[in-house]
Structure 1
Amino acid sequence: MILLDRDDLIDGLRELVAELHAAGEPVGLRIVGGGALALRHFDRRTTVDIDAVQVSPGDEGSVLAAAERVAERRGWQLDWLNFKAAQLAPWWGRDIRWEPIHHDDLVTIEVAPADALLAMKLKASRPGRDTDDIRQLLAVCGIDSVEAADALFSEFFPGDSLTDRAWLMVERILTGGPLVPPDVPPPADLGSAN
């Protein structure tokens, strides 16, 4: 499995934008998960993929085919861009203020804000895999208690509360020392393909 850093993600998305322009079909993508963290919120070192949600009408298959062409040129796994995380996105709660990283006449790409990403990471709460992301997102969001984390989670997932596993994870993080907000990277520039 190829590990992708922030520069890889930016370069891959630039090429994807060029592929989508060549197809001439309007596309809107929203990025969640580790890709969104790396592109907008903090230095996450690496990720294996970009989890996206397609929000505009159009053929999801053509977007994936374009992403596969990028992968083949770069020697990446074919699912470096995928739509597998759509079920984790909080669609029914608090309004999400998606942050644009690219917008032109055909292609729009946005990333989830830190608070929505924290809610999603808390929903998944995979020990080890999500712990550092949750730690950094708690700092970014200014969350300093398990109760505050639970309240934020409930805003995005109405009627739900943190699972016992998520509650314990947040409790351990908060008792493990002070949270220091990470440096925020400059906005991703997807201006032109290589």
Structure 2
Amino acid sequence: MAARFDRDQLQDALDRLGEAAAANHTQLDLAVYGGAALMLASRFRYASEDVDIASIGEWPDWLRKAVDKVARDNGWAADWLNDAIQFHLSPAATQSDDHLEFGTYPRRGEPGLRVFVPSAEYLLALKLKAMRVADPVKGPLEARDIRKLMAACGLTGIDDAIAILGQYFPRSAADADKQRFLLKHVLSQEDPDDDPPDYPVRDL
């Protein structure tokens, strides 16, 4: 199993990527999704084992070297930063309407990296499309993410959640029997914590 890291460790890694970008006179923009986005910008996800990003095309050599060094120094997986999620992103989502600038890195010094996170609605739609709540390992965490994101969006019912799914993935919403069935189970549970369903939050 890949090593997991927390928010502080991820922020430190992003600082290093930002420093590398600045040293190469580059402004790099990364859109971050999944558990890493929640870990950065919510009060209810505390660890992840990778960072899902939208594709930025061919990686420059300096970025590959910086990512590899972060992995080696921290004992993380070689692909801790990856764009495997690109295939699952919605063509209906736009940078201006469905993403928010979370911050710049390094946090001190000349910024070379800007990090964006998806809106609560878009991230919820991505979670609903994947619907991995039956996974024996990650399922409980995925279910909790969905409950918290629904609360962050002000949603309480299954139909409301499917409507959000339909905004970004119309075909999935048109045939959402799986999502409806699993959402009944997800929403029948309660979270044994008081973590507020705040997302996105820039200053934690």
State the superposition RMSD in angstroms. Answer: 2.7
Q: Report if aligned partners of 1:119, 1:156 keep a CA contact under 8 Å in 2.
A: yes
Higher mean alpha-carbon deviation, 166-175 vs 37-46, is at 166-175
CA distance in 1, matches of 2:150, 2:78: 32
Which of 145, 149, 156 aligns to 1:144? It is 156
Are 1:117 and 2:117 matched, yes or no?
A: no
Identity of aligned residues (%): 29
Q: Structure 2 length normalisation: TM-score? A: 0.79
- Report SS of the residue matched to 1:149: helix
Match of 2:144 in 1: 132
Q: Structure 1 length normalisation: TM-score? A: 0.83
CA distance in 2, matches of 1:178, 1:67: 35
- Report SS of the residue matched to 2:148: helix
Match of 2:25 in 1: 24
Structure 1 residues without counterparts, runs of 5 or longer: 190-194
Q: CA deviation at 1:164?
A: 2.5
Are 1:182 and 2:200 matched, yes or no?
A: no
Structure 2 residues without counterparts, runs of 5 or longer: 134-138
- Report SS of the residue matched to 1:31: strand
Match of 1:43, as an amino acid?
F
Q: CA deviation at 1:135?
A: 1.4
Q: Report if aligned partners of 2:104, 2:112 keep a CA contact under 8 Å in 1.
A: no
CA distance in 2, matches of 1:11, 1:109: 13
- Report SS of the residue matched to 1:29: strand
